[in-house]
Amino acid sequence: MSVKNLLHSSKHSSKHSSKHSSKHSEDILVGVGLRHPHFTDILTSAKEIDFVEVHSENFFGQGGAALSVLQQVRETYPVSLHSTSMGLGSFADIPAHYLARLKRLTQTIDPFLMSEHACFTWGHLQGQLMHSGDLLPIAHTHNNLKRMCEQVDRVQTYLGRELIIENVSAYVQFDESYLSEAEFLTALCQQTGAKILLDINNIAVNSLNFEGGDIEKSVVDYINVLPIDSVAQIHLAGCSDVPHGQLVVDDHACPVSDDVWQGYRQALTRFGAVPTLVEWDSDLPAWSTLIGEAQKARDIANAVLGVNARASVMEINHE
């Protein structure tokens, strides 16, 4: 049973929703993933981004310096809580202790967005519940869709918040899958009221690993399945090159690639001024470099969503 009608909209969510539907370039919200080495930078630099996103689990402690920094950051920036361990697609239930910590953090930070991945993380080995330590892919079947809807409903009800669910990069595939990930996410959102976090780089990684590597085609095919009002956030990231024949790993260790920027243009054209985040997790660059990537996203959004925005939307929808 859907909980979408039970969910309250926070102050930030309401603001975001009205901006989202306006599709004007000046309304785009651009942020960066905030990691520990940049704590001092964000607290001492001029405000050049609209929001930050943090990994929820990094702030699960009851107190301490990291949480204090996040609370200081929250005074200036809206914060998006991006979880990586919930494992909404897990057959095993998400442990209550995990959800309790997430709820406590949610109440402390009052995020304007809350997101997770369409993956599984919890399972049993030798009879014991364990966490996989990674975002593991799920088979895209109706049974798994039903299971994930149950988990999303449970979490949304418990937190009293709408979730945004991210497509994932994968390194193995299941023979059992018969839905595309885009079809799976679309159905998930329709049945739960959740929204989609569209990670362009994850589409690119899966394209290179499993679909022949025509990234532009993979992105267009993917986004054309998603309803126009279903995408609540976009993620951009880069990953390291690998030798020919090797699987690409989504390591978030590089600047956003040209292919992903092109995919971003296509996504903006279809979905409008969706809040956009640049992620960088390994080999972190200087803060100014990261901000430069965010500025590039803003420039592209301004270019795509300018005076020709409406014409472009029509064009891509007819492809």
Partner 1 sequence: MNDLLEHKPQRTEQQRLLAVIWNDDLSGNLHGFSVQGINIYRRNLLANAQRALGITFPTVFKLLDSDVSADLVKQFLQASPPDQGDWGQWGDKFADFMATTDISDDYPFLADCSALDWHVHCALHGADQTLDQSSLQILGNCEPEQVVIIFNQNVKLLSSRYPVVDIFDGHHHDDKQRRQVALNNANQALSSALVDHHIMIYRPEFQPRVIKLTSSEGQFTQSLISGNSLAESLDLVSNDAEFSFQHWLLNAIEHNLIHYFKESYS
Applying CB under 8 A, which residues contact partner 1? 57-58, 60-68, 85-87, 90-91, 94-95, 97-98, 101, 120-126, 128-134, 136, 138-139, 141, 143-144, 146-147, 170-172, 174-176, 246-247, 249
Tell me whether residue 13 or residue 201 sits nearer to partner 1 (CB atom): 201
What are residue 82's DSSP bridge partners?
55, 115
Tell me whether residue 132 or residue 262 sits nearer to partner 1 (CB atom): 132
Nearest-10 Cα torsion for 304, 256, 119, 203: 60
Tell me whether residue 66 or residue 159 sits nearer to partner 1 (CB atom): 66
In the complex, what is the shortest distance from the CB of residue 138 to partner 1, in angstroms, rounded to a whole number?
7
- State the angle between helix axes of 142-159 and 181-192 in degrees (0 to 180), rounded to the nearest 10: 40
In the complex, what is the shortest distance from the CB of residue 244 to partner 1, in angstroms, rounded to a whole number?
13
8 backbone φψ class: left, alpha, beta (φ>0; ψ -120 to 50): beta
In the complex, what is the shortest distance from the CB of residue 282 to partner 1, in angstroms, rounded to a whole number?
10
* Residue carrying structure tokens 């929204």: 195
Tokens encoding 64: 């301490």
Tell me whether residue 203 or residue 301 sits nearer to partner 1 (CB atom): 203
Q: Answer yes or no: are the C-beta atoms of 61 and 89 closer than 8 Å.
A: no
Would you call 91 helix, strand, or coil by DSSP?
coil
In the complex, what is the shortest distance from the CB of residue 312 to partner 1, in angstroms, rounded to a whole number?
37
In the complex, what is the shortest distance from the CB of residue 148 to partner 1, in angstroms, rounded to a whole number?
10
Tell me whether residue 5 or residue 62 sits nearer to partner 1 (CB atom): 62
- Around Cβ 12, how many Cβ atoms within 10 Å? 16
Burial of 84 (0-12, 13-18, 19+ CB in 10 A): middle
